[in-house]
Amino acid sequence: MFNPFSKFEEKFIPVFRKLKKRYLVSQSFKRENNLFKEDKTYLLLSHYEDQGLAKIHYNAISSDKFASIIDLEKDEHRKRLLSILNPGSWIKSENRFGIIKNNISFK
């Protein structure tokens, strides 16, 4: 099965900051099949350069208890995101972005 999602990794944070993609919008993501064979709540993270677009996305999903806007330029937001990325976290994070489409290299 084709999986268009990739696991979000800590190394993505400085790259997003460098590319001015400072806003991440989080939301819960449910699928019939468990993508990574783990019993965790999945988060879908969408990246934005423009705060206004991030707010539009957030407002559309504001009833989701996992909806939030994460500002990668704020220390407290980065720390919280890093805690979610911890393997022991009860949340499984994913991000939805096209590496090829956006020409983002995380090496």
Domain boundaries, given as residue ranges, for the chain? 6-98
Q: Which of 56, 53, 66, 62 has its CA nearest to residue 26? A: 66
Q: What is the pLDDT along the chain (107 residues), one digit of tens a residue?
A: 455 677 788 899 999 999 999 999 998 877 655 555 556 677 888 999 999 999 999 999 999 988 999 999 999 999 988 888 877 765 555 544 333 233 344 33
pTM for this entry: 0.74
Beta strands in 2-107 (DSSP E): 6-7, 23-29, 41-48, 68-71, 91-95
